[in-house]
Structure 1
């Protein structure tokens, strides 16, 4: 799997982060099996697909808290 494919995975996640992206959807997008995508994602990014999604959501929520006047419960 090329670095471009890994970049496509990350870009796809960023584009779909608000719509609850799944490993199966991402693997369909890049054209590899979910198992292979999961393995290569972890090898190249350093964390699992699910952990990456969790960390990105937490980062986005932190930005929302910092940049808005919304309540924490609304952002969560």
Structure 2
């Protein structure tokens, strides 16, 4: 019972985030996404961990297509 409530709450958070993204952020990013789709040209490569707490695009302030980001467990190369 408790686990199902936690799962429902988690799914609600995910769905709410998707809806908010589509209503607020996505329209502003569509032009950037279209540029990347026709010819991506990243300016650099960033190796980072798969840890969900590491949000590489926020840390680097990169826009879509600006960096090629490789996420590995423990940043193992």
Q: Same fold (TM over 0.5)?
A: no
Higher relative contact order (CA 8 A, sep 6+): 2
Structure with more of its chain in strand, by fraction: 2
- Structure of higher CA gyration radius: 2
TM-score by length of 1: 0.28
Larger proportion of helix = 1
